[in-house]
Amino acid sequence: MQSAYVVDGMLCRTHQFHLPLDYSQPEKDTITVFAREVVAKEKQEQDLPWLVYLQGGPGFPSPRPDANAGWLKRALQQYRVLLLDQRGTGNSQVVSAQTLAGQSVEVQVAYLSQFRADNIVRDAEAIRKQLGIAQWSLLGQSFGGFCILHYLSYYPQSLRRAYVTGGIPPLTRHADEVYQATYQRVLDKNAAFFAQFPQAQSLCRQIADHLLQHDVRLPNGQRFTVEQFQLIGINLGRSGGGLGLYHMLEEAFVEVDGKPALSYSFLNAMLAEQSYQTNPIYAILHEAIYCQQNASDWSAHRVRAEYPQCSYTPGQSFNFTGEMVYPWMFDQLDTLKPLKAAADILAAKSDWPQLYDPAQLEKNIVPVAAAVYVEDMYVEFDYSRETLSQLANARAWMTNEYEHNGLRADGERILDRLIQLADEQEAVMMQSSAL
Query: Distance between CA atoms of 430 and 258, rounded to whole angstroms?
Result: 75
Q: List C-alpha distances in Å: 157 to 134, 147, 166.
A: 9, 15, 24
Q: Which of 142, 153, 296, 384 is catalytic?
A: 142
Strand partners, 85: 34
How many CB atoms lie under 10 A from the CB of residue 173? 17
Give me the count of residues in the chain. 435
> What dihedral do alpha carbons 335, 353, 87, 299 form, nearest 10°?
30
Using omega within 30 degrees of 0 as the cis cutoff, is the peptide bond preceding 58 cis? yes
H/E element holding 311? none
Active site residue 142: yes
- The conformational region for residue 293 under phi > 0 = left, psi -120 to 50 = alpha, else beta, is left
275, 333 Cβ separation under 8 angstroms = no
How far separated are the first and last CA of the chain, in Å rounded? 51
Nearest alpha-carbon partner for 207 in 189, 228, 221: 228
How many CB atoms lie under 10 A from the CB of residue 142? 25
Strands 10-20 and 30-40: antiparallel
H/E element holding 136? strand 136-141
Q: Which of 47, 215, 257, 351 is catalytic?
A: 351
Exposed, middle or buried, 389 (CB in 10 Å: 0-12/13-18/19+)?
exposed
Q: Which of 150, 286, 301, 404 is catalytic?
A: 404
Query: Distance between CA atoms of 138 and 148, rounded to whole angstroms?
Result: 7
291, 155 Cβ separation under 8 angstroms = no
Exposed, middle or buried, 76 (CB in 10 Å: 0-12/13-18/19+)?
buried
Nearest alpha-carbon partner for 329 in 298, 350, 304, 306: 298
CA 366 to chain centre: 23
Nearest alpha-carbon partner for 93 in 29, 38, 139, 146: 29
391, 151 Cβ separation under 8 angstroms = no
- The residues that are catalytic are 142, 351, 404
